[in-house]
């Protein structure tokens, strides 16, 4: 038999297998191979080797690799080995929604897909009397180990008995009866001893702490935003961790709780029903097929409940209100950065403007706490004191109108620095030129806060160009800029034209963009200088230990320069 769905159906008649079925059905087993009749298969010389390659027994794979026409009769023992590898695969690829995949599980997954020898090594490591460590391999695989260990031992004995059977009576006569009788007898011998462990099906409940619920219910007048998103395993807890760390900081939406969305029967809502198998094991092909579809990405539905609603920056009533809202959002980014997170997806949809000021945690208090812990000689102390000085005349302490949202692609800096070649992330229309070039050339690139500062610039440019002005019709130059902003190289031309010294004409570009030009022009120059300073810093001190310090220092310099431009252009409150 080579159809594992049919095999499971046959095994379901044995009550002792009910527990094992729960484990096996954690995978989507949907074999399209037909189950051959044993008599027909036995009569074929050599016997064809059918089955799903990831789960074939070592004997079947060895026969498939053998160029000689040596017959191999795939028996129920081979399918029992396949059942074992199905269980092993399910235990290692189990989708449990944990914070991150344990290091040992990552290695096992790679080895399962590498080769026959590496897959056998995984089986030997798991089916070993030495107990696996939970920290390295997770609780689920560790809980399955005793079962798999005893089963694996029994299977090798079964295979030896099967060889003896064929050696003693190699004739084809009565092969079906002999194999079925042997299979049923050995199945009874194998299953009872190793199925003493109870596999209990448990429903997963949403875990929302009572304090978050009570806080939400106790507030009389609060704007609530409930966000649902399909998150990948790599960034499964990115937004939750970011929002939880910043909680109600200035420039960040207040976080109440995050939860995994479940079906009514308690099963997490995922997109796995619409995708193909998680992995294709290329064990029998000599090389990878370039035409093969890429591995699909499995995602889970998560909900985040936050306060502090807003609208797009294109609705700003004045250029001053636009740049003040961006300043508040940049301060929110600073709060994220000082708590060890980098946002990496600043865009026009992720920076919002609140109609009314909202009371948030005091900025001056946070700044004073940081300054008090620094020595006089520390250059960061001077920067933080400068930020405090600049914020005082702007009446910006705990009254916030602009904020940054959506931390789907956020990363904890300590984990981010561990990757030698970090991925380039963001929304294309707002990515820095350095990020876009690296993505196009497919070269490693360390995304730093300066890239997000460039993203803030392109957010401001977008809001100015797409501003909901009161004019009848759209000026010709503005209409052309709107078209260019959605195109890669043309977007750079818009930025250069706005940031050049020649003043834009109101008739061609509208009054709002013209009023924003002085600020955008000076800001663009500062960002270019900041980027040059970053490149020099990387060359002089590229050590990983200094990166987080460099990230903070460069961003705080950019924040100081932005606030200085604001004071220069608009003055105090």
Q: 174 and 114 in one domain?
A: yes
Q: 108 and 148 in one domain?
A: yes
Q: 537 and 424 in one domain?
A: yes
Which stretches of 339-378 are DSSP H helices? 363-372
Q: 217 and 137 in one domain?
A: no
Q: 218 and 184 in one domain?
A: no
Residue 220 is predicted with a pLDDT of 65
Q: 219 and 185 in one domain?
A: no
| CA distance linking residue 251 with residue 327, whole number of Å | 9
Which stretches of 446-502 are DSSP H helices? 449-465, 476-485, 488-499
| CA distance linking residue 401 with residue 278, whole number of Å | 44
Angle at 401 between CA 503 and CA 383, to 5 degrees: 75
15, 37, 361 from 41: Cα distances, Å: 29, 6, 74
Buried/exposed 94-114: b ≥16 CB within 10 Å, e otherwise: beeeeeeebebbeebbebbbe
Matching residue, tokens 């199905």: 86
290 within a domain of the structure (yes/no): no
455 within a domain of the structure (yes/no): yes
DSSP state of 405: -
| CA distance linking residue 15 with residue 28, whole number of Å | 22
Q: Which residues pair with 411 in a beta bridge?
A: 342
**Under a CB-based contact definition with an 8 Å cutoff, are residues 562 and 330 in contact?**
yes
> Contacts from 117-120 at CB under 8 Å and sequence distance 24+?
119/85, 120/58
Lookup: tokens for 413: 């800096």
In the chain, how many domains are there?
2
Q: 355 and 252 in one domain?
A: yes
Q: 318 and 190 in one domain?
A: no
Peptide linkage before 15 cis (omega within 30 of 0)? no
CA atoms within 13 A on the CB side of 466: 17
Q: Would you give the end-to-end CA distance of the chain in angstroms? A: 79
Residue 428 is predicted with a pLDDT of 85
Lookup: tokens for 109: 């997954």
562 within a domain of the structure (yes/no): yes
Residue 349 is predicted with a pLDDT of 92
CATH number at residue 446: 1.10.510
Q: 472 and 545 in one domain?
A: yes
**Could you give the angle at which helices 319-338 and 363-372 cross, rounded to 10 degrees?**
40
**DSSP three-state, residue 148:** helix
182 within a domain of the structure (yes/no): yes
20 within a domain of the structure (yes/no): yes
pTM, whole model, 2 decimals? 0.62
Among residues 168, 194, 220, the one where a domain terminates is 194
Q: 37 and 163 in one domain?
A: yes
Query: What are φ and ψ of residue 277, in 5° steps?
Result: -60, 150
| CA distance linking residue 425 with residue 359, whole number of Å | 32
Helix or strand (DSSP H, E) at 304: strand 299-307
Q: 217 and 181 in one domain?
A: no
Note down the domain range covering 454.
Answer: 210-273+296-570
Per-residue pLDDT 10s for the chain (573 aa) are 344 444 444 433 433 334 344 444 433 333 333 333 333 333 444 444 456 777 887 777 777 666 545 566 667 778 888 888 889 988 898 876 566 788 888 888 888 887 777 888 898 888 877 788 888 888 889 888 888 888 888 888 777 776 666 656 655 444 555 556 655 555 555 443 444 333 333 333 444 544 555 666 666 667 788 888 888 777 778 888 898 899 889 999 888 888 888 776 666 777 765 555 444 444 444 444 555 555 566 788 888 888 878 899 999 999 999 999 999 999 999 999 999 899 999 999 999 999 888 889 999 999 999 998 888 778 889 999 999 999 998 888 889 999 999 888 888 887 776 654 455 577 888 999 988 888 888 888 888 899 999 999 999 999 999 998 766 678 888 989 998 988 766 888 898 889 876 889 998 999 999 999 999 999 999 999 999 999 888 888 767 667 778 888 899 999 999 999 999 999 876
Residue 133 is predicted with a pLDDT of 85
439 within a domain of the structure (yes/no): yes
Residue 273 is predicted with a pLDDT of 55
| Strands 255-260 and 341-342, bridge-based pairing | unpaired
| CA distance linking residue 176 with residue 183, whole number of Å | 10
| CA distance linking residue 462 with residue 482, whole number of Å | 8
Q: 190 and 214 in one domain?
A: no
Among residues 194, 225, 246, the one where a domain terminates is 194
280 within a domain of the structure (yes/no): no
362 within a domain of the structure (yes/no): yes
Among residues 194, 223, 254, the one where a domain terminates is 194
Residue 162 is predicted with a pLDDT of 67
**Under a CB-based contact definition with an 8 Å cutoff, are residues 424 and 373 in contact?**
no
């Amino acid at each position: 038999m080579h159809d594992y769905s049919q095999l499971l159906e046959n095994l379901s008649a044995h009550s002792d297998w009910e527990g094992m079925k729960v484990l096996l059905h954690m995978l989507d087993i949907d074999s399209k191979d037909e189950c051959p009749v044993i008599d027909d298969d036995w009569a074929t010389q050599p016997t064809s080797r059918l089955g799903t390659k990831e789960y074939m027994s070592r004997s079947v794979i060895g026969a498939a690799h053998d160029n000689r026409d040596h017959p191999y009769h795939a028996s129920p023992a081979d399918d029992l080995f396949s059942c074992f590898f199905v269980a092993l695969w399910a235990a290692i690829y189990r989708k449990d929604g944990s914070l991150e995949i344990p290091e040992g599980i990552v290695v096992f997954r790679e080895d399962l897909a590498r080769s026959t020898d590496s897959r056998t090594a995984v089986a030997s490591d798991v089916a070993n009397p030495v107990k696996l460590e939970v920290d390295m391999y997770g609780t689920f695989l560790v809980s399955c180990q005793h079962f798999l260990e005893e089963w694996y031992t029994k299977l090798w004995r079964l295979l030896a008995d099967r060889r003896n059977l064929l050696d003693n009576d190699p004739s084809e006569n009565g092969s079906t009866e002999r194999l079925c009788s042997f299979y049923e007898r050995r199945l009874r011998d194998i299953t009872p001893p190793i199925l003493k462990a109870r596999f209990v099906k448990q429903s997963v409940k949403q875990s929302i702490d009572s304090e978050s619920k009570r806080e939400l219910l106790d507030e009389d007048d609060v704007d609530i935003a409930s966000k649902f998103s399909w998150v990948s395993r790599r960034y499964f807890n990115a937004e939750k961790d970011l929002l939880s760390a910043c909680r109600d900081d200035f420039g960040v939406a207040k976080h109440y709780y995050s939860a995994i969305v479940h079906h009514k029967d308690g099963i997490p809502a995922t997109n796995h029903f619409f995708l193909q198998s998680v992995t294709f094991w290329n064990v029998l092909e000599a090389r990878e097929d370039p035409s093969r579809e890429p591995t699909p990405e499995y995602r889970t539905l998560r909900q985040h409940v936050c306060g502090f609603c807003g609208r797009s920056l294109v609705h700003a009533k004045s250029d001053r209100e636009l740049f003040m809202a961006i300043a508040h959002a940049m301060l929110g980014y600073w709060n994220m950065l000082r708590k060890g997170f980098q946002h990496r997806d600043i865009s026009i949809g992720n920076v919002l403007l609140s109609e009314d000021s909202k009371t948030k945690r005091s900025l001056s208090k946070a700044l004073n706490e940081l300054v008090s812990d620094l020595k006089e000689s520390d250059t960061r102390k001077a920067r933080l004191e400068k930020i405090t000085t600049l914020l005082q005349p702007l009446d910006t302490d705990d009254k916030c109108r602009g904020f940054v949202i959506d931390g789907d692609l956020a990363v904890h800096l300590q984990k981010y620095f561990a990757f030698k070649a970090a991925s380039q992330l963001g929304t294309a229309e707002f990515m820095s030129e350095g990020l876009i070039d690296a993505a196009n050339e497919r070269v490693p690139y360390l995304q730093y806060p300066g890239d997000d500062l460039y993203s803030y610039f392109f957010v401001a440019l977008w809001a100015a160009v797409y501003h909901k002005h009161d004019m009848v019709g759209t000026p010709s130059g503005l209409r052309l800029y709107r078209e260019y902003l959605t195109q890669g190289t043309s977007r750079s031309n818009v930025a250069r034209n706005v940031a050049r010294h020649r003043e834009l004409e109101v008739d061609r570009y509208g009054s709002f963009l013209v009023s924003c030009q002085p600020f955008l022009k000076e800001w663009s120059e500062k960002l270019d200088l900041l980027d040059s300073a970053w490149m020099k810093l990387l060359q002089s001190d590229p050590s990983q230990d200094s990166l987080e310090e460099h990230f903070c220092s460069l961003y705080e310099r950019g924040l100081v320069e932005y606030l200085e431009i604001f004071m220069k252009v608009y003055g105090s409150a």
